[in-house]
Amino acid sequence: MKKVKITVMKQTIYQDLIDLYENPIHHACDMKVGQIYIANDWEKPEGMCNSAWESMNAFVMTLAHGGQDFYDGWMKNKKSAMISCNDGFRPVSFLIETCDEDAE
């Protein structure tokens, strides 16, 4: 089984939507761009947001078990995926990729 690297690539904040619809939340998302997590199979990495993990865990498990080429050519690197969490107020984009040396 392969380890899978999860890198926080981008975070967007929709302050207009937050102001209109969200109840105040302190520390709603503590992830930082450039932050890296390593996943071992089906285990959520320590410190990973539960909501983000729910959005990506099927992709992580597939990559950990050698799967690749999601959606027939979606990613330039067949052993990767770009996934966003499901927070509509402050979505975070993650690059998920296998840790093996022959990643394309």
Over the chain (104 residues), the average pLDDT of each successive run of 10 is 94 95 86 94 88 94 93 94 94 93 45
pTM for the model stands at 0.89
> Cβ distance 77 to 103 under 8 Å?
yes
pLDDT of 104 reads 41
pLDDT of 40 reads 84
pLDDT of 99 reads 87
